[in-house]
A and B are shown apart, each in its own frame.
Chain A
Amino acid sequence: MKTEEKQVARDVSGDYVTSAIPQEERKSSANIFATVAGWIICLSTMLTGGALAMGLDFKSALLATLVGMAILKVISAPLAALGGKFGVSTTMITRPVFGLFGSKIFGLIVAILNGIGWFAFQAAFFALTMQQLFPGSFLDNLVIGSIIGGFFMTLTALYGYKGIAILSFLAVPLIIILSAFGGIAAVEVGGGIGALVAAQPMADGISISSGIAMVVGNAVLGSIILSDVSRYAKNAKTGAVAASAGYLVGGVFTIICGLAMAYVSNVPGVGSTPNLPLVMVTLGLGVGALIILVLAQWATNTANLYSASLGIGSFLNVPQKYTVAIMGIIGTLMAVFNVYEIFIPFLIAMGTALPPVGGVMLADYYVVHKLVKKEEYSFAPHTTYPQLNWLAVVVVVVTAWLTSAPLKNMFMASFMSLVIAFIVYALVASILTKAGVKYTIGSATTK
């Protein structure tokens, strides 16, 4: 019966969207590490390095990078451990936390945010990169660039986790090798290591804490949904170590490459960020630059679409390939018609709303369930979940509002919103549990 249920779960979604990954299909640590590193290694992470170079000297920028990514590792490791332990996606993990209805809302937000909003943004960014790298060619046309980018990103995501893993397995080592040689080229052109270490900010200075906030803000969302990949790890420890290490190493490496190239190239920036594609061309990286930029954006956006399809699949009982294809087409069309621009305020708003979700998830499992209730989560078929955990929803909404409006200038607002949500939920839920006061509404049993 168990095998039959497992088969049904896979047949409907195509990728264990609503059930745990069987142990025999779990992947090696190297596989998880490369896939996660491929997720964070992208042009926007490199641009974070470039943006740090605009406001900080090299040593301060390096410190901000290391501290920021270390903070993200602290957040991502315990969340990734949940994926490895239970073998389910982030949206599934939100079922016992927020209830079935709350989990559906989370899945919908992730789908709109990653699968459509960020996908469109990255596909359009891909077209812009191609335009700068190949002026005068057919890729100079933004519409063609967006369609080509969107098509290949969607095509890989159609193969689910396997597609992302194979792409990342090829892309990550290539990006690391070619970016490292890009860094060497930057150092050589810029006058050596001494000149790089002595490099001063390229524009108006910012504080180190602002630099740390930029690093954390760039990648905090990905660290919260790492379970979408770590669910393929063999156990909790492997999931936590391999996934968070991939995030840390990939992030630090990419930001430092962006830093080194931006400092020494003297290419004028676009707004507050340097024009890195042009920097790479200026440094004479040629085909290497093209490979880095194309593979980095391709791998990241494939993972975005995949993660979104897991969110949608948790409540829409349709094969995963259909949700991937539909979201990919919508995202590509939005990139073609520049409609993604209207999404930017929404993306920023959701970027503030999601970190508290991570705080509540950590508090609910590690404090309320493990320490207070002394219970484990269950994701087996016929499990009963609450319909809605109103306390979790209230904590997320209030914390997100506080850190997006009255406290938006607080040090590392996105990270602090996670910490505040963790503390408040852990305290209130523990007290209510001890007092026997129910903070959930209704209940339902899954099929």
Chain B
Amino acid sequence: MQSKQIAQLTIVLAAVNAVLGLIGGKWYLIVAAVFLAVLAALGALRYLSAKTPESLRSFSWYNIISGLSILSLAFSSFYSLPSMGFVQVILAAVIILMGCYTLYEAVKKHGLPIIP
């Protein structure tokens, strides 16, 4: 899969996460879901606007951080969704894996250090 397609998929998954939060209904579930969706989408949009190795690495870190945050909140009793929580877990896992893959590409193919 190309990095461009991964970025596009990230935006779709981020949008799904935001919608899941909105379905959850409570204000803090909406804040958490929308904030983390924006975080993931922001990295993807920045990469799509300038496809440099550095922005690929940055996009990867956005994905890893937002994915881990979504995953850990999904497993907490306070922030877990009343229904369809498993969808949030799956999409978070996919976002993390995509982040690890693109980070591997940035480091191995483009020779960048793992962090700026």
Q: Do A and B come from one complex?
A: yes
Question: Shortest beta-carbon distance, A185 to chain B, in Å?
Answer: 5
Query: Which 7 A-B pairs rank lowest in CB-CB distance, beginning with the nearest?
Result: A284-B78, A284-B77, A286-B76, A287-B75, A288-B72, A287-B72, A169-B115
CA distance A218 to B43 in the complex (A): 36
Q: Which residues of the partner chain A approach B31 to less than 8 Å between Cβ atoms?
A: 184
A173 at the interface (CB under 8 A from B): yes
* Chain A residue nearest in CB terms to B27: A188
Shortest distance between the CB of A331 and any CB in chain B (Å): 26
Residues in B9-28 with C-beta less than 8 Å from chain A: 28
Tell me whether B79 and A170 are in contact (CB under 8 A).
no
Asked whether A177 and B69 contact (CB < 8 A) given A283-B78, A284-B76, A287-B76, the answer is yes
Q: Indicate whether A286 sits within 8 Å of B75 (C-beta atoms), given known contacts A30-B116, A173-B65, A291-B68.
A: yes
Enumerate chain B residues within 8 angstroms of A188, measured Cβ to Cβ. 28, 78
Residues of A within 8 A of B84 (CB): none
**Is A110 part of the contact surface with B, judged by Cβ < 8 Å?**
no
Interface residues, chain B, with chain A CB atoms under 8 Å away: 28, 31-32, 36, 61, 64-65, 68-69, 71-73, 75-79, 114-116
Say yes or no for A347: interface residue by CB 8 A criterion.
no
Residues of B within 8 A of A166 (CB): 114-115
Q: Is A134 close to B, CB under 8 A?
A: no
Bound CA–CA A170/B115 (angstroms) = 10
A interface, CB within 8 angstroms of B: 27-28, 30-31, 165-166, 169-170, 173-174, 177-178, 181, 184-185, 188, 283-289, 291
CB distance from A198 to the nearest CB of B (A): 20
> What residues of A have a CB within 8 angstroms of the CB of B71 in the complex?
287
The residues of B that contact A284 with a CB separation of less than 8 Å are 76-79
What's the minimum C-beta distance from A441 to chain B, rounded to whole angstroms?
Answer: 45
Q: Which A residue sits closest to B69, measured CB to CB?
A: A177
Are A170 and B64 in contact, with the CB atoms below 8 A?
yes
Q: In chain B, what residue has the closest Cβ to A288?
A: B72
Given contacts A166-B115, A177-B69, contact A285 B64 (CB under 8 A): no
Q: What separation, in Å, do the CA atoms of A178 and B114 have in the docked complex?
A: 23
In the complex the two chains form, what is the Cα distance from A42 to B32 in whole Å? 23
Of the residues B32, B61, B65, B114, contact of A181 by C-beta under 8 Å: B32
> Once the chains bind, are A177 and B65 in contact (CB under 8 Å)?
yes
State whether A285 touches B65 (Cβ < 8 A).
no
User: What are the residues of chain A within 8 A of B75 when measuring CB–CB?
Assistant: 286-288
Distance to closest chain B CB from A167 (angstroms): 10
Q: Is the CB of A185 within 8 A of B79?
A: yes
Chain A residues contacting B73 (CB-CB under 8 Å) are 178, 181, 288
In-complex Cβ contact of B116 among A28, A173, A283, A286 (8 A): A28
Q: Are A169 and B61 in contact (CB under 8 A)?
A: yes
* Cβ B116 vs Cβ A285 within 8 A: no
**Chain A's nearest CB lies how many Å from the CB of B75?**
4
Query: Are B116 and A31 closer than 8 Å at their CB atoms?
Result: yes
Complex A-B: 28 CB contacts under 8 Å: A30-B116, A31-B115, A165-B115, A169-B61, A170-B65, A173-B65, A174-B68, A174-B69, A177-B65, A177-B69, A181-B28, A181-B32, A181-B79, A184-B32, A185-B79, A188-B28, A188-B78, A284-B77, A284-B78, A286-B72, A286-B75, A286-B76, A286-B77, A287-B71, A287-B75, A288-B73, A288-B76, A291-B68
